[in-house]
């Protein structure tokens, strides 16, 4: 614990960015302000068409520890993979370009790994949407609680399947990641699958509730955009996850199927928000959602694991998909007007 800064191992901070001219500089500033100083920052400019490239040049000229990689709009998974390939650190972490870190985050995660001898350490996050919210959050004092350590099977059931499926807000031993990479064919759920398939390689994962990661609720973010075909990955990722999980523990079938059903209903909600004409153009995706829901509702115990709200939604969509989508669309737009 008393290592000098120069004796501490290098941490590689991987920052993928696409059209992030308005966010990237503040993100990098928050990383440069870390109390853990032995860092390299790898920015992957993934085919940006705005002034992100110019921001990258400015940052590289300002800070000696920044490396910039340019790729051809291959997606966030390919960008993160490029960062892993370039990383020279003994540890690595991921920060999205519109997010930020509290100053002590990487030091806390590093100490957490040392104290628990885990391969990965994660922390909590705080969602923010304005500079005022960020300044309030970053100025607040938090007591650091003792970290808990999980075996991979425990982490799967107690953390990943209960919502902690994010690849960011975590510090990884580079040796544990090895040749493991993100799946590039998915645009949603790729971080959950990265973590899920990494679990068998790990001796343990530590978690602290210290809220070290600032998650920006970006109105232009992927989860806030209107439906497009790639949004069907919301379903595909959980289908793949279930297949992987059932190889390890068949007792988790109802739990993971409930998450798959939730993914189907979230996708149906995205379809519902389209104007009527656009919904008709996407009727094949609506049919797929309906058929998949019908099939998954047959899995014993899955329906009972849904919240009351999702139980009602799934029953309505199953019984009358067209009316459900119309009512969902009307209710959402009505609430916006009010």
Instruction: Report pLDDT digits (tens) over 42-96.
Output: 999 999 999 999 999 999 999 999 999 999 989 999 999 999 999 999 999 999 9
Tell which of 187, 216, 245 closes a domain.
216
Helix (H, G, I), strand (E, B) or coil at 97: coil
Low-confidence winner among 7-11, 84-88, 267-271 (lowest mean pLDDT): 7-11
Q: With 90 as the cut, is the pLDDT of residue 1 above it?
A: no
Residue 19 within a domain:
yes
Q: Are residues 255 and 139 in the same domain?
A: no
CB-based contact 107:33 (threshold 8 Å): no
Regarding whether 148 and 23 lie in a shared domain, the answer is: yes
The encoded tokens of residue 285 equal: 């995706």
Q: Is there a single domain that holds both residue 198 and residue 284? A: no
Same domain, 193 and 332: no
Q: Looking at residue 54, which CATH number applies to its domain?
A: 3.90.550.10
Instruction: Tell me the residue range of the domain where 265 lies.
Output: 226-337
> Measured at the alpha carbon of residue 95, what is the angle toward residues 92 and 99, in degrees to the nearest 5?
160
In terms of domains, do 111 and 137 share one? yes
- Nearest CA among 249, 260, 327 for reference residue 296: 260
Contact 47, 71 (CB under 8 A): yes
For the whole prediction, is pTM greater than 0.85? yes
Strand partners, 55: none
Are 113 and 185 part of one and the same domain? yes
> pLDDT of 283-329, one tens digit each?
999 999 999 999 999 999 999 999 999 999 999 999 999 999 999 99
Q: Which two tokens stand for residue 101?
A: 């870190």
How far apart CA 206 and CA 171 sit, in angstroms, is: 10
Using pLDDT thresholds of 50, 70 and 90, give the confidence band for residue 332: confident
Tell me which of 216, 248, 276 is where a domain ends. Answer: 216
pLDDT at residue 337 above 70? no
Is the pLDDT higher at 158 or at 333? 158
Asked whether residue 221 is assigned to any structural domain, the reply reads no
- pLDDT tens across 94-149, in order? 999 999 999 999 999 999 999 999 999 999 999 999 999 999 999 998 877 778 99
Residue 238 has pLDDT above 50, yes or no: yes
Is the pLDDT at 2 greater than 50? The verdict is no
Estimate the crossing angle of helix 52-62 against helix 24-32, to 10 degrees.
20
Is 197 in the same domain as 258? no
- What is the token pair recorded at 142? 């938090």
Query: Do 154 and 71 have their domain in common?
Result: yes
Query: Is residue 2 one of the residues assigned to a domain?
Result: no
Q: CA angle at residue 48 from 44 to 50, to 5 degrees?
A: 130
> What is the per-residue pLDDT for 68?
98
One domain, residues 78 and 190:
yes
Whether 1 is in a domain gets the answer: no
338: pLDDT confidence band, cut at 50, 70 and 90? very low
> How close are the terminal C-alpha atoms of the chain, in Å?
55
Say if residue 191 is in the same domain as residue 87. yes
Report whether 255 contacts 305 (CB < 8 A).
yes
Residue with tokens 């019908």: 294
How many independent structural domains does the chain possess? 2
The string of pLDDT tens digits covering residues 143-166 is: 777 789 999 999 999 999 999 999
Q: What is the mean pLDDT of residues 25-34?
A: 98
Can you say how many angstroms the Cα of residue 60 is from the centroid of all Cα atoms in its chain?
26
190 and 231 share a domain?
A: no
pLDDT in tens, 215-236: 999 765 555 568 999 999 999 9
């Amino acid at each position: 614990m008393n290592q000098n800064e120069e004796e501490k191992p290098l941490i590689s901070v991987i920052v993928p960015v696409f059209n992030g001219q308005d966010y990237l500089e503040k993100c990098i500033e928050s990383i440069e302000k870390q109390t853990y100083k032995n860092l390299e920052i790898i920015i992957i400019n993934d085919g940006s068409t705005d002034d992100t490239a110019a921001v990258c040049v400015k940052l590289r000229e300002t800070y000696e520890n920044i490396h910039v990689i340019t790729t051809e709009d291959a997606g966030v998974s390919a960008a993160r993979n490029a960062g892993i390939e370039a990383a020279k650190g003994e540890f690595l972490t991921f920060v999205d370009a519109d997010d930020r870190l509290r100053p002590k985050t990487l030091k806390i995660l590093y100490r957490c790994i040392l104290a628990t001898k885990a391969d990965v350490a994660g922390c909590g996050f705080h969602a923010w949407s304005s500079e005022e919210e960020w300044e309030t959050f970053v100025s607040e004092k938090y007591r650091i609680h003792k970290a808990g350590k999980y075996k991979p099977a425990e982490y799967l059931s107690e953390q990943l399947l209960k919502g902690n499926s994010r690849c960011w807000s975590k510090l990884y031993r580079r040796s544990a990641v090895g040749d493991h990479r993100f799946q590039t064919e998915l645009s949603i759920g790729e971080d959950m699958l990265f973590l899920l398939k990494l679990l068998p390689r790990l001796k343990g994962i530590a978690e602290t509730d210290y809220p070290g990661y600032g998650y920006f609720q970006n109105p232009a973010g992927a989860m806030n955009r209107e439906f497009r075909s790639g949004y069907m990955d919301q379903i595909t990722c959980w289908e793949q996850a279930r297949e992987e999980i059932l190889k390890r523990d068949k007792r988790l079938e109802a739990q993971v199927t409930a998450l798959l059903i939730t993914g189907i209903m979230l996708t149906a909600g995205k379809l519902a928000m389209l104007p009527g004409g656009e919904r008709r153009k996407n009727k094949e995706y609506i049919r797929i959602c309906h058929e998949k829901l019908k099939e998954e509702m047959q899995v014993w115990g899955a329906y009972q694991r849904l919240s009351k709200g999702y139980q009602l939604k799934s029953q309505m969509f199953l019984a009358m998909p067209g009316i459900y989508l119309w009512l969902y669309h009307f209710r959402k737009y009505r609430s916006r007007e009010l």
